[in-house]
Structure 1
Amino acid sequence: MSAGGGTRAIIAALLANLGIAITKFVAWLLSGSSSMLAEAVHSVADTGNQALLLVGGRRAQRGATPQHPFGYGRERYIYAFIVSIVLFSVGGLFALYEAYHKWQHPEPIDDHQWLPVAVLLVAISLESFSFRTAIVESNHIRGKATWVQFVRRAKAPELPVVLLEDLGALLGLVFALVGVSMTLVTGNGRWDAAGTAAIGLLLVTIAVILATETKSLLLGEGATPEDVARIERAVHEGSEVERIIHMRTLYLGPEELLVAAKIAVRPASSAEHVARDIDTVESRIRSAVPIARVIYLEPDIYSARRAARPESVEAETAPETGGKG
């Protein structure tokens, strides 16, 4: 992911949600609509989430230290996981609580009846702008993947998080608009409560999706099948290596891949030749997959007798997989 592209989408979403949150709170204070309160809290949660993503991106840029020799790239995953928790607790659970309270004690909207509808229509236009920005930035790196595949396979968490948040915000605004409009038409406050409940269920669902996908990144994911194939081609392009005995890859951060492999070299090679050949292979790997910044290649002599015992090398030769799920 382009860091600049992700940052643009986050800032656009943050500014939109901050303005929307203030407007929604004013509308709630004047009208007493529970849907407006749920949406206001939702916008506050989203604003805080975007701030967390910016902080995570900033902290992830710190250099490696003796205590953290592979750097801090995974902080972006940690902060994205925190975002899912905030969205679930602050946004979703609060909306469900407010919906339950309003269902038990329904109230019509008597004051400033036009205001909630006007605010929601303006909010929909602002959220649409934010959502469009996230879509444009995502399309730069999405390639031919579907949107579901993009959210599931993306190694940089910021754009999928912003996409899902903005989608949830737009759907939530539609739910709130239906609830408020039906309350104004019928005078029955339970429509407002129903809209609030729909917002809560939506936010909880999105939070669970984000938590599930981010958890996979935190646990550590290997390179995508496409990148694994590029690395294997780069290793075998020259005559330096007879074969890959086994290989493991791991994302140290969204834009930093670790490659560790045991490679078979010619039995008669001297240490000097082996070292030179390894340097050559590493250079080809970095050219093929630029994010492969940490590479460890262990030279070995391939044993046909060992290859005849597949049960002993089954774990070593297991294919790499990429993506979550």
Structure 2
Amino acid sequence: MAGSRGVVLAALVANGAIAILKFLAFLLTGSPSMLSETYHSISDTGNQVFLLLGIRYSNKAVSREHPFGYGKAQFFYSFLVAVLLFGIAGWESVKHGYDAIVHGGHGAAGPVSVAGVTFPSWYVSVVVLFGAIGFESYAFAKANKELRRQINHYEWDGLRDAFRKTSDVTTLTAYTEDTIALLGAGIALVGILLSKATGNEIYDAISALIIGLLLMGFALALAWENKRLILGESLPAEIETELKTAIEAAPQVVHVDTFRTVYVGPQDVLVTTDVSFVPETEATDLDGLIDDIESRLVEVDDRVKHVYIEPEV
């Protein structure tokens, strides 16, 4: 949880500063891709606020109404990020880029004077975008470090496997968002430089459209990843097999009759199982045997936080 919070805070500071700079650049240049990038950074900033709300809400104490805690709040707020923030920002960017393509570019803005120094307006966009790439690289490095730590800890086969199996949607969202932000800044930079080199503003407008499509695609992908966890996904089959094997290896266990797992929060798994013990097992011994099984399950996977065992003798 601490790692996720650090990732989100780093992204919040970076995106807040970048959003202001990009908007100022748009006001000075009128660039369609800079407006798309402004939408992008505003949505990224709102994204971090929602994720922090999810982290804070998920830390609420267990209650009668929520006996397994509020961990799924992070799934819900990440879903809101996808639908409300990235979806809206992506749509606005696509609409603005399409309008610029159909009705013509914004035209070349005049020179900009700052502190008595005059320079072409497109310099502003280029400088801001390079600054954005620098900020986003810092945020991306934080998210990448945390995601790589989880990959090594759970022995996943790279990023693709992590995206399919992780329950830490906060880190997943921040990582993907930072990746898209770097791509978006690069696309905007290419569009602006091509427009400057050719004198044709269509490249800037096309960049805005591509950035919007990128955002909308990410919104759909992120919503899909959160859907599986909101609906109650189990641990991967290979992990469940390891957990059942650990139970079967425990003293006096004959057979695992039923076995189920489900995520009740990020890195927080509920396990329920019916276990058959040898007929000679004394009722007074069951507490110790069950405690031993619980310890074995946590040793196999530290995401197991809640264990319910129904003994059958």
Identity of aligned residues (%): 35
Quote the residue 1:229 is aligned against.
241
Q: 1:272, CA displacement in angstroms?
A: 2.5
Tell me, yes or no, if the aligned pair for 1:87 and 1:203 is still in contact at 8 Å.
no
Aligned residues: 299
Aligned-residue offset at 1:267: 2.8
Contact preservation (8 Å) 1:108, 1:188: no
Moved more, 34-43 or 150-159: 150-159
User: Any conservation in 2 of the 1:39–1:176 contact (CA below 8 Å)?
Assistant: yes
Q: What's the CA shift string for 1:79-106, capped at 9, x where partnerless?
A: 1111111343322101001012211222
1:117 aligned onto 2:126: yes
Per-residue CA distance 1:187-232 (angstroms, 9 max, x = gap): 3222111000000111111111111111101111112345323422
What residue in structure 1 maps to residue 56 of structure 2? 58
Alignment-derived partner of residue 77 in structure 1? 75
How far off its partner does 1:158 sit?
Answer: 1.3
Instruction: Say yes or no: does 1:141 pair with 2:150.
Output: yes
Summarize deviations over 1:114-170 as a string: whole Å, max 9, x none: 211121122112211211221122221112521111122111111111111111111
Matches within 5 A, 1:191-230: 191-230=203-242
Q: 1:127 to 1:276 in 2, by over 3 A?
A: closer
Q: Is the 8 A contact 2:54 2:77 kept in 1?
A: yes
Q: Distance in 2 between matches of 1:176 and 1:266?
A: 68
User: 2:268 corresponds to which residue?
Assistant: 256
One-letter identity of the residue aligned with 2:108? I
Q: Are residue 239 (structure 1) and residue 251 (structure 2) matched? A: yes
Moved more, 19-28 or 219-228: 219-228
Deviations 1:276-321 (A, max 9, x none): 43233223323433332211111225xxxxxxxxxxxxxxxxxxxx
How far apart, CA to CA, are the structure 2 residues paired with 1:214 and 1:156?
A: 10
C-alpha distance in 2, partners of 1:259/1:27? 53
The alpha-carbon deviation at position 268 of structure 1 amounts to: 4.0
- TM-score w.r.t. the length of structure 1 is 0.87
Which has the larger displacement, 153-162 or 87-96?
Answer: 87-96
Name the counterpart of 2:89: 91
**Matched residue SS, 1:113:** helix
CA contact (8 A) 1:265 1:300 kept: yes
Return 5+ residue gaps in structure 2 as ranges. 111-120
* CA distance in 2: counterparts of 1:183 and 1:238, whole angstroms: 69
SS at match of 1:262: strand
The amino acid of 1:269's aligned partner reads T
> How far apart, CA to CA, are the structure 2 residues paired with 1:244 and 1:74?
28
Q: CA deviation at 1:179?
A: 1.4
Give 3-state SS (helix, strand or coil) of 1:297's partner. Answer: strand
Q: Is the 8 A contact 2:86 2:215 kept in 1?
A: yes
Whether the 8 Å CA contact 2:93–2:212 is kept in 1: the answer is yes
Q: RMSD across aligned C-alpha pairs, in angstroms?
A: 1.7
In 2, are the aligned partners of 1:13 and 1:130 still within 8 Å (CA)?
Answer: yes
